[in-house]
Amino acid sequence: MCLCGLEMGKSDSCNFKRVKLGKKIYNRVDDSFDDNKRCHDCGILNKKGNIHHVFCDMEKCPKCGRQLISCQIFGGCDAKEYMEFMK
């Protein structure tokens, strides 16, 4: 189960469309791996408009372009910023 409340592997997209990094709110990246197949990690359908579930290793950070999960582990682009997922 993702933090968004949906079950991974049975949902086409995450419910959280935005992420707050520091004081700024970004739209989550939806073109990480656009091939119309299920994501090997979080199970979403990879196509434009669909968002990976929280903690998926395929999602890119909207701020720095690296893996978002590494920004999560290091607290937001290595800067120990506040991070929150939002609808």
Enter the tokens of residue 37. 């197949």
Task: Kindly state whether residue 39 participates in binding Zn ion, applying the rule CB under 5 A.
Answer: yes
Task: Kindly state whether residue 63 participates in binding Zn ion, applying the rule CB under 5 A.
Answer: yes
Task: Kindly state whether residue 81 participates in binding Zn ion, applying the rule CB under 5 A.
Answer: no
Task: Kindly state whether residue 58 participates in binding Zn ion, applying the rule CB under 5 A.
Answer: yes
Q: What are residue 70's phi and psi, to 5 degrees?
A: -70, -30
Expressed in angstroms, the distance from the first to the final Cα of the chain is 16
**Residues binding Zn ion (CB under 5 A):** 2, 4, 14, 39, 41-42, 52-53, 56, 58, 61, 63-64, 71, 77
